Amino acid sequence: MSINVRFFASLKERIGSATLEIDAQGITTVRDVWTSASGQEADEEMLVAINKEYAALDRTVADGDEVAFFPPVTGG
């Protein structure tokens, strides 16, 4: 019963880790994942993906999901 959490770019540096595994117990939404993994308030500019597809902070997560957090993208 766990959720794989990934952080990219400046968020990875802010959290101090690229990946974390958290217990899915008591976790309902992406926002819960963020709070549990980071201990910080969610920043509304932050982008989220569940299983490598964009998702919103209020989306429900399931056991085994990969949930990623990253800042606005700057490619190209």
The answer to whether 7 and 18 have CB atoms below 8 angstroms apart is yes
- Report how far residue 4's alpha carbon sits from residue 52's, in angstroms, rounded to the nearest whole number: 12
Question: Please, what is the minimum distance in Å from the beta carbon of residue 37 to other proteins?
Answer: 17
Residue with smaller CB distance to other proteins, 11 or 24: 11
- Report how far residue 73's alpha carbon sits from residue 41's, in angstroms, rounded to the nearest whole number: 20
Which span (24-32, 36-44, 56-64, 67-75) binds other proteins, by CB under 8 A?
67-75
The answer to whether 22 and 36 have CB atoms below 8 angstroms apart is yes
Question: Please, what is the minimum distance in Å from the beta carbon of residue 51 to other proteins?
Answer: 9
Binding site for other proteins (CB under 8 A): 6, 8-10, 47, 49, 52-54, 68, 70-76
